[in-house]
Structure formats: C-alpha cells, structure tokens
Amino acid sequence: AHTSVLVAAVGDIAEGEALQVPAERTGHHDTISVFHDDGTYYALDDTCSHGQASLADGWIENGEVECPLHSARFCLRSGEPQCMPATLAARTHRVEVVAGEIWLHPG
Ligand code: FES
C-alpha cells in the first residue's frame, strides 16, 4: 500500500528545486520527486519516461520540468510530455500543503 509522507516544510525546497522521496518511504515503485515551481508544489515519478534520468536533476520552469538527459519537457501538473523525445506521460501524484508542511500522497 502507498503511504502518505511528510516531505519537508514549506521553504525547505527552494523555488526551481526538487526533492526526491525514496520508494522505501512511500511504497511506490519508483522514487517520487516533489518539484517547487513558482510557489506551487508538484510530484512526478522521478525516473524520466524516456530513459534512465532523474527528473529531480532537471530544469524547472513555467510549470514544466526539462529532463537533464535528452531535454524532453513534462507538464508538472498533468505529467504530459510537451516535446520529443518523450512520448509517455510521467505519473503524477497529489501534493498538499497543510500548516506549512508539504505532504505527498502517492497514487
Ligand atoms: Fe529523459 Fe531521454 S531520458 S528525455
């Protein structure tokens, strides 16, 4: 079963940064990364849908993350690929901010 986890306090993930949450903490099959873009937090499976790259190492901007390996971009909200070479969506997860704490609800 998937477990909701406390990821960090608001302020611990800088704007334009991401934090990895290892699979051991969530029960999910992959590391999940929580991304901070312009005051909003999003969560996607960390491994790029195109290959072996960590999206947490990518470039976060304008509601998207760009893969560091071949530069595919994914919508942080929907996980949908925005350009080649990725064709498969990134799996998304629910993030909730409660009383200054960032919670991840893996789905
Ligand atoms: Fe991400 Fe190729 S591994 S675009």
Q: What is the largest CA-CA distance in the chain?
A: 39
pLDDT band, very low/low/confident/very high, at 98 (cuts 50, 70, 90): very high
- HSE-up (13 A, CA, CB side) for residue 95: 29
Which atom of ligand 1 is the closest one to the Cα of 86? 4
Cα separations in angstroms, 58 against 4, 34, 63, 97, 100: 24, 12, 13, 23, 25
Q: Looking up tokens 């993930």, which residue turns up?
A: 13
For a substitution probing ligand 1, which of 50, 54, 59 has the most ligand atoms within 8 Å of its CB?
Answer: 50
Q: What is the Å distance from ligand 1's center to 50 Cα?
A: 5
Its CATH architecture, for the domain 5-105, is 3-layer Sandwich (2.102)
Q: What is the Å distance from ligand 1's center to 100 Cα?
A: 33
Quote the pLDDT of residue 15.
97
pLDDT, average across residues 89-101: 98
Residue 107 has pLDDT above 90, yes or no: no
Residue 1 has pLDDT above 80, yes or no: no
Q: Tell whether ligand 1 has an atom less than 6 A from the beta carbon of residue 73.
A: no
pLDDT, average across residues 71-79: 98
pLDDT, average across residues 16-34: 97
The whole-chain average pLDDT of the chain stands at 97
pLDDT, average across residues 85-100: 98
